Amino acid sequence: MLSLLDLCARIDSGRLTPEGAVGLVREAIAAREPEIGALVCVDPAPAIPTTGPLAGIAVGIKDIIDTADLPTAMGSPIYAGWRPRADAPVVARLKSLGAVPLAKTTTTPFAFLDPTATRNPHHPGHTPGGSSAGSAAAVAAGMLPLALGTQTGGSIIRPAAFCGVVGVKPSFRLLPTVGVKCYSWALDTLGLFAASVPDAAHALALLADRPAIAAHADAGALRIGIVRQDFCAAPDPEAEAALARAARAAERAGARVRDYALPARFGEAFAAHAAIQDYEVRQSLAWEYATHRDALPPRLRAALDAAQGIETAAYDAARRTAHHARRGLKEVFSEDGLDAILTYAAPGAAPAGLDQTGDSRFNRLWTLMGVPCVTLPVDRTSAGLPVGVQVITRFGDDGRALAAAGLIERALRD
Protein backbone atom coordinates (compact mmCIF):
# COMPACT_ATOMS: atom_id res chain seq x y z
CA MET A 1 0.00 0.00 0.00
CA LEU A 2 1.02 3.62 -0.51
CA SER A 3 1.88 5.40 2.73
CA LEU A 4 0.75 9.02 2.92
CA LEU A 5 3.45 9.91 5.46
CA ASP A 6 6.17 8.22 3.41
CA LEU A 7 5.15 10.16 0.32
CA CYS A 8 5.05 13.42 2.30
CA ALA A 9 8.51 12.75 3.74
CA ARG A 10 9.97 12.02 0.32
CA ILE A 11 8.42 15.17 -1.12
CA ASP A 12 9.60 17.30 1.83
CA SER A 13 13.16 15.98 1.48
CA GLY A 14 13.26 16.66 -2.25
CA ARG A 15 13.59 12.99 -3.18
CA LEU A 16 10.22 13.12 -4.92
CA THR A 17 8.33 15.98 -6.55
CA PRO A 18 4.57 16.44 -6.14
CA GLU A 19 4.22 15.64 -9.83
CA GLY A 20 6.28 12.51 -9.32
CA ALA A 21 4.09 11.43 -6.42
CA VAL A 22 0.96 11.75 -8.55
CA GLY A 23 2.80 9.86 -11.28
CA LEU A 24 3.41 6.95 -8.91
CA VAL A 25 -0.31 6.83 -8.19
CA ARG A 26 -1.13 6.86 -11.89
CA GLU A 27 1.22 3.92 -12.44
CA ALA A 28 -0.43 2.00 -9.61
CA ILE A 29 -3.88 2.73 -11.02
CA ALA A 30 -2.83 1.51 -14.47
CA ALA A 31 -1.51 -1.71 -12.94
CA ARG A 32 -4.38 -2.58 -10.55
CA GLU A 33 -7.57 -0.80 -11.60
CA PRO A 34 -8.50 -3.18 -14.45
CA GLU A 35 -8.84 -6.08 -12.00
CA ILE A 36 -10.29 -4.12 -9.05
CA GLY A 37 -12.75 -1.66 -10.60
CA ALA A 38 -12.54 0.79 -7.68
CA LEU A 39 -12.66 4.03 -9.66
CA VAL A 40 -15.46 5.78 -11.53
CA CYS A 41 -13.21 8.29 -13.27
CA VAL A 42 -9.73 9.81 -13.05
CA ASP A 43 -8.85 13.44 -13.73
CA PRO A 44 -6.56 13.38 -16.79
CA ALA A 45 -4.94 16.74 -16.06
CA PRO A 46 -5.43 17.89 -12.46
CA ALA A 47 -3.78 20.92 -10.94
CA ILE A 48 -0.85 19.71 -8.81
CA PRO A 49 0.13 22.25 -6.14
CA THR A 50 3.77 22.40 -5.11
CA THR A 51 3.14 23.78 -1.64
CA GLY A 52 1.02 22.72 1.31
CA PRO A 53 1.24 19.88 3.84
CA LEU A 54 -0.44 17.48 1.40
CA ALA A 55 1.16 18.76 -1.80
CA GLY A 56 1.34 15.90 -4.29
CA ILE A 57 -0.96 13.57 -2.31
CA ALA A 58 -3.58 12.07 -4.62
CA VAL A 59 -6.94 11.43 -2.97
CA GLY A 60 -9.95 9.34 -3.94
CA ILE A 61 -13.33 10.97 -3.42
CA LYS A 62 -16.39 8.78 -2.85
CA ASP A 63 -18.83 9.41 -5.68
CA ILE A 64 -21.55 10.92 -3.49
CA ILE A 65 -19.26 13.86 -2.62
CA ASP A 66 -19.45 16.91 -4.89
CA THR A 67 -16.45 17.74 -7.06
CA ALA A 68 -16.41 20.64 -9.48
CA ASP A 69 -13.71 19.09 -11.69
CA LEU A 70 -15.16 15.58 -11.88
CA PRO A 71 -18.70 14.20 -12.27
CA THR A 72 -20.64 13.10 -9.20
CA ALA A 73 -22.95 10.26 -10.18
CA MET A 74 -24.08 8.89 -6.76
CA GLY A 75 -23.52 5.38 -8.12
CA SER A 76 -26.76 5.80 -10.08
CA PRO A 77 -27.72 6.24 -13.74
CA ILE A 78 -30.09 8.97 -12.58
CA TYR A 79 -27.07 11.24 -12.08
CA ALA A 80 -24.85 9.94 -14.89
CA GLY A 81 -22.51 12.72 -16.05
CA TRP A 82 -23.81 15.24 -13.50
CA ARG A 83 -21.28 18.00 -12.75
CA PRO A 84 -21.71 20.05 -9.57
CA ARG A 85 -20.81 23.73 -9.82
CA ALA A 86 -18.75 23.63 -6.62
CA ASP A 87 -16.59 21.33 -4.55
CA ALA A 88 -17.94 20.02 -1.28
CA PRO A 89 -16.18 21.84 1.60
CA VAL A 90 -14.10 18.76 2.44
CA VAL A 91 -12.80 18.68 -1.15
CA ALA A 92 -12.07 22.39 -1.03
CA ARG A 93 -10.17 21.77 2.23
CA LEU A 94 -8.10 19.05 0.58
CA LYS A 95 -7.19 21.40 -2.25
CA SER A 96 -6.22 24.16 0.20
CA LEU A 97 -3.81 21.67 1.82
CA GLY A 98 -2.20 20.96 -1.57
CA ALA A 99 -3.84 17.57 -2.10
CA VAL A 100 -4.97 16.41 -5.54
CA PRO A 101 -8.54 15.02 -5.73
CA LEU A 102 -7.50 12.69 -8.53
CA ALA A 103 -10.30 10.14 -8.78
CA LYS A 104 -13.91 9.44 -7.89
CA THR A 105 -14.29 6.09 -6.16
CA THR A 106 -17.21 3.74 -6.55
CA THR A 107 -20.15 3.85 -4.19
CA THR A 108 -23.18 1.65 -3.90
CA PRO A 109 -26.14 3.58 -5.37
CA PHE A 110 -26.90 6.46 -3.01
CA ALA A 111 -24.67 4.71 -0.42
CA PHE A 112 -27.18 1.95 0.36
CA LEU A 113 -26.89 -1.84 0.03
CA ASP A 114 -27.09 -2.61 -3.69
CA PRO A 115 -23.49 -3.61 -4.53
CA THR A 116 -20.99 -2.10 -6.92
CA ALA A 117 -18.88 -4.16 -9.35
CA THR A 118 -15.75 -3.39 -7.31
CA ARG A 119 -13.75 -6.47 -6.27
CA ASN A 120 -11.81 -7.15 -3.08
CA PRO A 121 -8.08 -6.64 -3.82
CA HIS A 122 -7.21 -9.71 -1.72
CA HIS A 123 -9.61 -12.04 -3.52
CA PRO A 124 -11.54 -10.92 -6.61
CA GLY A 125 -14.41 -13.28 -5.86
CA HIS A 126 -15.20 -11.53 -2.57
CA THR A 127 -16.93 -8.23 -1.81
CA PRO A 128 -14.89 -5.20 -0.72
CA GLY A 129 -17.85 -4.15 1.43
CA GLY A 130 -19.91 -1.04 1.04
CA SER A 131 -21.04 1.52 0.62
CA SER A 132 -17.55 3.06 0.37
CA ALA A 133 -16.39 0.13 -1.75
CA GLY A 134 -14.06 1.95 -4.14
CA SER A 135 -12.32 4.03 -1.49
CA ALA A 136 -11.44 1.01 0.67
CA ALA A 137 -10.42 -1.13 -2.29
CA ALA A 138 -8.30 1.57 -3.93
CA VAL A 139 -6.26 2.16 -0.77
CA ALA A 140 -5.91 -1.58 -0.15
CA ALA A 141 -4.72 -2.14 -3.73
CA GLY A 142 -2.03 0.52 -3.35
CA MET A 143 -3.67 2.79 -5.92
CA LEU A 144 -4.22 5.75 -3.56
CA PRO A 145 -2.63 6.82 -0.28
CA LEU A 146 -5.85 8.44 0.98
CA ALA A 147 -9.54 8.21 0.14
CA LEU A 148 -12.72 9.71 1.54
CA GLY A 149 -15.77 7.68 2.51
CA THR A 150 -19.02 8.10 4.39
CA GLN A 151 -20.86 6.01 6.99
CA THR A 152 -24.54 5.85 7.84
CA GLY A 153 -24.52 2.26 9.13
CA GLY A 154 -21.13 0.63 8.60
CA SER A 155 -19.87 2.04 5.31
CA ILE A 156 -16.34 2.96 6.44
CA ILE A 157 -15.53 0.55 9.24
CA ARG A 158 -16.79 -2.61 7.49
CA PRO A 159 -15.12 -2.17 4.05
CA ALA A 160 -11.90 -1.14 5.80
CA ALA A 161 -12.01 -4.44 7.69
CA PHE A 162 -12.84 -6.44 4.56
CA CYS A 163 -10.03 -4.80 2.56
CA GLY A 164 -7.39 -4.73 5.31
CA VAL A 165 -6.87 -0.98 5.63
CA VAL A 166 -7.34 1.60 8.38
CA GLY A 167 -10.74 3.25 8.29
CA VAL A 168 -11.76 6.22 10.43
CA LYS A 169 -15.34 7.24 11.18
CA PRO A 170 -14.75 10.43 13.18
CA SER A 171 -17.00 11.99 15.77
CA PHE A 172 -20.31 13.10 14.28
CA ARG A 173 -19.92 16.37 12.37
CA LEU A 174 -16.18 16.63 12.92
CA LEU A 175 -15.94 16.86 9.13
CA PRO A 176 -18.65 18.74 7.18
CA THR A 177 -21.21 16.72 5.20
CA VAL A 178 -22.25 19.77 3.17
CA GLY A 179 -21.98 18.82 -0.48
CA VAL A 180 -22.39 15.12 0.30
CA LYS A 181 -25.54 13.39 -0.98
CA CYS A 182 -27.66 12.96 2.13
CA TYR A 183 -29.11 9.60 3.14
CA SER A 184 -29.81 10.27 6.84
CA TRP A 185 -28.95 13.68 8.26
CA ALA A 186 -28.83 12.33 11.82
CA LEU A 187 -26.38 9.56 10.92
CA ASP A 188 -24.30 10.41 7.82
CA THR A 189 -20.66 10.84 8.82
CA LEU A 190 -17.69 11.71 6.62
CA GLY A 191 -14.44 9.79 7.16
CA LEU A 192 -11.40 8.35 5.46
CA PHE A 193 -9.23 5.36 4.56
CA ALA A 194 -5.44 5.10 4.76
CA ALA A 195 -2.68 2.48 4.88
CA SER A 196 -1.78 2.90 8.56
CA VAL A 197 -2.97 4.55 11.76
CA PRO A 198 -0.31 7.32 11.61
CA ASP A 199 -1.31 8.04 8.00
CA ALA A 200 -4.97 8.29 9.00
CA ALA A 201 -4.23 10.44 12.07
CA HIS A 202 -2.14 12.86 10.00
CA ALA A 203 -4.84 13.20 7.36
CA LEU A 204 -7.70 13.66 9.84
CA ALA A 205 -5.76 16.23 11.85
CA LEU A 206 -5.21 18.29 8.71
CA LEU A 207 -8.73 17.91 7.36
CA ALA A 208 -10.30 18.88 10.69
CA ASP A 209 -7.65 21.57 11.41
CA ARG A 210 -7.03 19.92 14.79
CA PRO A 211 -3.30 19.16 15.17
CA ALA A 212 -3.90 17.47 18.54
CA ILE A 213 -5.51 14.52 16.75
CA ALA A 214 -2.13 13.53 15.29
CA ALA A 215 -0.11 14.73 18.29
CA HIS A 216 -1.92 12.30 20.60
CA ALA A 217 0.59 9.54 19.79
CA ASP A 218 1.14 8.33 23.37
CA ALA A 219 -1.94 6.39 24.42
CA GLY A 220 -0.64 5.95 27.97
CA ALA A 221 -1.93 3.20 30.26
CA LEU A 222 -5.25 2.73 28.53
CA ARG A 223 -8.24 1.04 30.15
CA ILE A 224 -9.88 -0.97 27.37
CA GLY A 225 -13.22 -2.76 27.54
CA ILE A 226 -13.77 -5.75 25.27
CA VAL A 227 -17.36 -5.47 24.04
CA ARG A 228 -19.02 -8.34 22.18
CA GLN A 229 -22.35 -6.63 21.47
CA ASP A 230 -24.48 -9.51 22.75
CA PHE A 231 -27.62 -7.89 21.30
CA CYS A 232 -26.29 -8.86 17.82
CA ALA A 233 -26.00 -12.29 16.25
CA ALA A 234 -22.65 -13.90 17.04
CA PRO A 235 -19.70 -13.25 14.71
CA ASP A 236 -17.70 -15.80 12.75
CA PRO A 237 -14.84 -17.54 14.59
CA GLU A 238 -12.20 -15.53 12.72
CA ALA A 239 -13.67 -12.26 14.03
CA GLU A 240 -13.58 -13.60 17.60
CA ALA A 241 -9.98 -14.73 17.09
CA ALA A 242 -8.97 -11.31 15.75
CA LEU A 243 -10.59 -9.60 18.74
CA ALA A 244 -8.68 -11.85 21.14
CA ARG A 245 -5.41 -11.25 19.29
CA ALA A 246 -5.90 -7.47 19.40
CA ALA A 247 -6.70 -7.64 23.12
CA ARG A 248 -3.49 -9.57 23.82
CA ALA A 249 -1.51 -7.04 21.79
CA ALA A 250 -3.03 -4.18 23.79
CA GLU A 251 -2.04 -5.91 27.05
CA ARG A 252 1.53 -6.41 25.83
CA ALA A 253 1.62 -2.68 25.10
CA GLY A 254 0.64 -1.85 28.68
CA ALA A 255 -3.13 -1.43 28.45
CA ARG A 256 -5.45 -2.79 31.12
CA VAL A 257 -7.98 -4.96 29.30
CA ARG A 258 -11.21 -6.44 30.65
CA ASP A 259 -14.47 -7.81 29.29
CA TYR A 260 -17.33 -5.34 29.43
CA ALA A 261 -21.05 -5.97 28.83
CA LEU A 262 -23.03 -3.00 27.60
CA PRO A 263 -26.23 -2.21 29.55
CA ALA A 264 -29.57 -3.18 27.98
CA ARG A 265 -30.29 0.36 26.77
CA PHE A 266 -27.69 -0.07 24.03
CA GLY A 267 -29.51 -3.04 22.56
CA GLU A 268 -32.59 -0.85 22.42
CA ALA A 269 -30.60 1.89 20.70
CA PHE A 270 -29.21 -0.61 18.20
CA ALA A 271 -32.78 -1.51 17.26
CA ALA A 272 -33.68 2.19 16.91
CA HIS A 273 -31.08 2.83 14.20
CA ALA A 274 -33.27 1.48 11.40
CA ALA A 275 -36.29 3.66 12.20
CA ILE A 276 -34.16 6.82 12.18
CA GLN A 277 -32.30 5.93 9.01
CA ASP A 278 -35.36 4.79 7.04
CA TYR A 279 -37.61 7.68 8.10
CA GLU A 280 -34.98 10.20 7.04
CA VAL A 281 -34.10 8.58 3.71
CA ARG A 282 -37.77 8.72 2.78
CA GLN A 283 -37.32 12.50 2.78
CA SER A 284 -33.74 12.83 1.57
CA LEU A 285 -34.44 10.70 -1.55
CA ALA A 286 -38.04 11.87 -1.99
CA TRP A 287 -37.38 13.39 -5.43
CA GLU A 288 -35.59 10.32 -6.74
CA TYR A 289 -38.35 8.05 -5.42
CA ALA A 290 -41.14 10.19 -6.86
CA THR A 291 -39.63 10.77 -10.29
CA HIS A 292 -37.21 7.87 -10.91
CA ARG A 293 -38.46 4.97 -8.79
CA ASP A 294 -37.99 2.41 -11.57
CA ALA A 295 -34.36 3.50 -12.02
CA LEU A 296 -33.53 2.80 -8.38
CA PRO A 297 -31.79 -0.53 -7.65
CA PRO A 298 -33.92 -3.27 -6.06
CA ARG A 299 -32.71 -3.16 -2.45
CA LEU A 300 -32.99 0.62 -2.24
CA ARG A 301 -36.36 0.66 -3.99
CA ALA A 302 -37.73 -1.92 -1.55
CA ALA A 303 -36.35 0.01 1.44
CA LEU A 304 -37.99 3.21 0.23
CA ASP A 305 -41.27 1.40 -0.38
CA ALA A 306 -41.22 0.14 3.21
CA ALA A 307 -40.14 3.50 4.62
CA GLN A 308 -43.30 5.18 3.39
CA GLY A 309 -45.16 3.50 6.24
CA ILE A 310 -42.95 4.66 9.13
CA GLU A 311 -44.93 6.92 11.43
CA THR A 312 -43.51 10.12 12.85
CA ALA A 313 -44.23 8.91 16.37
CA ALA A 314 -42.00 5.85 15.82
CA TYR A 315 -39.23 8.08 14.50
CA ASP A 316 -39.47 10.41 17.48
CA ALA A 317 -39.41 7.47 19.90
CA ALA A 318 -36.30 6.11 18.20
CA ARG A 319 -34.61 9.50 18.50
CA ARG A 320 -35.37 9.60 22.23
CA THR A 321 -33.96 6.09 22.66
CA ALA A 322 -30.78 7.15 20.85
CA HIS A 323 -30.47 10.29 22.98
CA HIS A 324 -30.72 8.33 26.24
CA ALA A 325 -28.15 5.82 25.01
CA ARG A 326 -25.70 8.60 24.08
CA ARG A 327 -26.01 9.98 27.60
CA GLY A 328 -25.48 6.47 28.94
CA LEU A 329 -22.35 6.01 26.87
CA LYS A 330 -20.78 8.99 28.64
CA GLU A 331 -21.26 7.08 31.88
CA VAL A 332 -19.63 3.97 30.40
CA PHE A 333 -16.47 5.96 29.76
CA SER A 334 -16.52 8.10 32.92
CA GLU A 335 -18.17 6.13 35.72
CA ASP A 336 -17.23 2.63 34.51
CA GLY A 337 -13.61 3.64 33.98
CA LEU A 338 -13.05 2.91 30.29
CA ASP A 339 -10.81 4.91 27.96
CA ALA A 340 -11.65 2.87 24.88
CA ILE A 341 -13.82 0.03 23.64
CA LEU A 342 -12.47 -2.80 21.50
CA THR A 343 -15.02 -4.74 19.48
CA TYR A 344 -15.64 -6.45 16.14
CA ALA A 345 -15.36 -4.36 12.98
CA ALA A 346 -17.40 -6.88 10.97
CA PRO A 347 -18.90 -10.34 11.51
CA GLY A 348 -15.85 -11.91 9.86
CA ALA A 349 -13.87 -11.74 6.64
CA ALA A 350 -15.39 -10.43 3.40
CA PRO A 351 -18.16 -12.77 2.18
CA ALA A 352 -17.81 -14.56 -1.15
CA GLY A 353 -19.65 -13.12 -4.13
CA LEU A 354 -20.24 -9.62 -5.44
CA ASP A 355 -24.02 -9.65 -4.95
CA GLN A 356 -23.85 -8.20 -1.42
CA THR A 357 -21.70 -5.87 0.69
CA GLY A 358 -21.73 -7.75 4.01
CA ASP A 359 -23.46 -7.12 7.33
CA SER A 360 -23.14 -3.85 9.30
CA ARG A 361 -24.59 -5.16 12.57
CA PHE A 362 -21.42 -4.45 14.56
CA ASN A 363 -21.24 -0.86 13.26
CA ARG A 364 -24.72 0.61 13.42
CA LEU A 365 -24.87 1.31 17.16
CA TRP A 366 -21.62 3.30 17.10
CA THR A 367 -22.71 5.38 14.12
CA LEU A 368 -25.90 6.18 16.03
CA MET A 369 -23.84 7.14 19.10
CA GLY A 370 -21.80 9.58 17.00
CA VAL A 371 -18.51 8.46 18.56
CA PRO A 372 -15.12 8.05 16.83
CA CYS A 373 -14.39 4.57 15.47
CA VAL A 374 -11.20 3.20 13.90
CA THR A 375 -10.84 -0.04 11.95
CA LEU A 376 -7.54 -1.81 12.55
CA PRO A 377 -6.41 -4.77 10.39
CA VAL A 378 -5.39 -7.64 12.68
CA ASP A 379 -5.37 -11.00 10.95
CA ARG A 380 -5.77 -12.97 7.71
CA THR A 381 -7.82 -16.06 6.98
CA SER A 382 -6.30 -19.11 5.28
CA ALA A 383 -7.63 -17.67 2.02
CA GLY A 384 -5.71 -14.44 2.61
CA LEU A 385 -8.72 -12.30 3.46
CA PRO A 386 -8.18 -9.59 6.10
CA VAL A 387 -9.99 -9.53 9.44
CA GLY A 388 -10.10 -6.35 11.52
CA VAL A 389 -11.24 -4.97 14.84
CA GLN A 390 -12.81 -1.67 15.84
CA VAL A 391 -11.53 0.82 18.43
CA ILE A 392 -14.07 3.28 19.89
CA THR A 393 -13.71 6.20 22.29
CA ARG A 394 -16.00 8.86 23.71
CA PHE A 395 -17.46 11.61 21.56
CA GLY A 396 -14.86 14.21 20.55
CA ASP A 397 -11.92 12.05 21.64
CA ASP A 398 -10.79 11.20 18.11
CA GLY A 399 -7.12 11.57 18.96
CA ARG A 400 -7.39 8.95 21.69
CA ALA A 401 -9.19 6.54 19.36
CA LEU A 402 -6.35 6.80 16.87
CA ALA A 403 -3.73 6.61 19.62
CA ALA A 404 -5.29 3.43 21.00
CA ALA A 405 -5.48 1.92 17.52
CA GLY A 406 -1.87 2.93 16.92
CA LEU A 407 -0.76 1.29 20.16
CA ILE A 408 -2.35 -2.01 19.08
CA GLU A 409 -1.01 -1.64 15.53
CA ARG A 410 2.55 -1.28 16.81
CA ALA A 411 2.17 -4.17 19.25
CA LEU A 412 0.89 -6.42 16.48
CA ARG A 413 3.79 -5.42 14.24
CA ASP A 414 6.42 -5.92 16.96
131 is catalytic: yes
CA angle 314, 308, 108 (to 5 degrees): 105
Q: Is 62 helix (H, G, I), strand (E, B) or coil?
A: strand
95 is catalytic: no
Beta-bridge mates of residue 146: 59, 194
- Cα(143)–Cα(352) distance, rounded to whole angstroms? 23
Q: What separation in angstroms does the CA of 94 have from each of 16, 67, 105, 133?
A: 20, 11, 16, 21
* Catalytically annotated residue among 76, 132, 155, 196: 155
The answer for residues whose C-beta is within 8 angstroms of residue 27's C-beta and 6 or more apart is none
For the chain, the C-alpha Rg in angstroms (whole number) is 20
* Catalytically annotated residue among 62, 95, 104, 181: 62
- Cα(133)–Cα(116) distance, rounded to whole angstroms? 7
Task: Report yes or no: 12 and 51 within 8 Å, Cβ to Cβ.
Answer: no
- Cα(88)–Cα(72) distance, rounded to whole angstroms? 11
Q: How many CA atoms lie within 13 A of 198 on its CB side?
A: 12
Please name the amino acid found at residue 184: S
76 is catalytic: no
Task: Report yes or no: 221 and 340 within 8 Å, Cβ to Cβ.
Answer: no
Q: Is beta strand 58-62 parallel, antiparallel or unpaired with respect to 223-226?
A: unpaired
* Catalytically annotated residue among 131, 132, 135, 171: 131
To 10 degrees, the CA torsion angle through 224, 262, 190, 378?
50
* Residues with catalytic roles: 62, 131, 155
